[in-house]
Amino acid sequence: MKYDFDTILDRQHTNSEKWDVKPGELPMTTADMDFKTAPEIMQAMKDKINAGAFGYEYPSQEYFDAVAHWYKIEHNAEAQTSWMRFATGVIPSITASVNHLSHTGDNVLLMEPVYNTFYNSILNSGRHALASQLKYDRSTYTYSVDWDDLEEKMSNPLTTLMILCNPHNPTGYVWSRDELMRIIKLAQKYGVIVISDEIHGDLVLKGPDYTPTFSLPEEYRQNLVTLVSTSKTFNVAALHAATGIVANPTLREHFTRAINKYEVAEPNLLAIPGTIAAYTQGADWLHQLKKYLLDNREYLEQFISDNLPQLHVVPGTATYLVWIDVSEVTKDSNALAQKIRQETGLIINPGTYYHGNGNEFIRINIAYPLTQIKDGLTRLAKAIKN
């Protein structure tokens, strides 16, 4: 079956966070996709609605079997279902874990630039965000870990947690297996628990696949909470469904208490059937989606090379989010984003949201029909040239 990724959806007036914009504006921002999800998922949800009874739900063994099946088939990664716990989202799980696994005033370590909502989980919990800056090579437009700085920040006695983004948002970088083991080993050395957000793991568009952290050798799993979800993969963020995978039984008990203490462990009526359908019937849809997204990314890269040579795309291989160096145009990406919106109606994320050196970057979402990608890039070129 060939799935449709070319039809433009009218998402205004649908309670879409991203599409609460003025007429004629084009938001290429919030990390959800402007494609209908897999019809197999929609059918499972329709069947649930048609049943007509909407009482309390619980995650069945079928749910956890579906998660295990998916990671075995798609990523050749083994996870025991006994390691798994249902949660209402990756970010709710992170917030609950920060509150329960650390103390007020502790440091939570991040590698910047990084997904901005992590800061909400940290600061709203009364913890301190402690950043290790990724090293940026302007000759190749690539990032790497500053290992000395990372160890120094981990060795701080107040650093008790680290939030890892695997693959990394916003750069699209896919950590290698060796890099993940080195990060986790450092964390073990200093008694730091690693919470790994792997929400973009299914969206590696080319090159080596991502490594689920729960699939690392046993000795690397002891201080690790892995969080996965169908939300980005299948464009079902509003289902509010995620899975925590924790191999260490003591840490798993702490995680279980965290998500129950903060009441983020109970599914809504569509979360279970929607997730099961995604993980058991959604592979063909996802494989076609990734090909479409890769074509979109390559179109963007060629367009920028041909029309906007002063911009430079960071060569990430994962996610549908593109991180673009605009330092030859401005050192203030927030002002640039405002100018682009005012002059053309294109809305993009200024890199300042993601801290670190983000003031010299913008982030663009490319999970749109190609027609809209072309429209957005035309608007971008007009604003930059002006």
pLDDT of 227 higher than 90: yes
If residue 152 lies in a helix (H) or strand (E), which one and from where to where? helix 147-155
Coil/strand/helix, residue 248: coil
Cβ burial of 128 (10 Å; 0-12, 13-18, 19+) is middle
Strand ranges, E, within the chain: 26-27, 84-87, 107-112, 128-133, 135-137, 142-144, 159-165, 193-197, 224-228, 242-245, 312-313, 321-325, 346-347, 349-350, 361-365
Residue 116 has pLDDT above 90, yes or no: yes
Does the pLDDT at position 160 exceed 90? Answer: yes
Q: Are strands 128-133 and 107-112 parallel, antiparallel or unpaired?
A: parallel
Confidence of residue 178 (pLDDT cuts 50, 70, 90): very high
pLDDT at 228 over 90: yes
Model confidence over 69-111: pLDDT tens digits?
999 999 999 999 999 999 999 999 999 999 999 999 999 999 9
pLDDT in tens, 194-218: 999 999 999 999 999 999 999 999 9
The per-residue pLDDT for 291 is 98
The count of residues in the chain is 386
Residue 266: which of 103, 93, 102 has the closest Cα?
A: 93
Sign of the torsion formed by the C-alpha atoms of 300, 37, 39 and 70? positive
pLDDT beyond 90 at 378:
yes
**Cβ neighbours, 10 Å, residue 40:** 18
Cβ count near 374 (within 10 Å): 15
- At 386, is the pLDDT very low, low, confident or very high (cuts 50, 70, 90)? confident
**Antiparallel, parallel or unpaired: β 321-325 and 312-313:** antiparallel
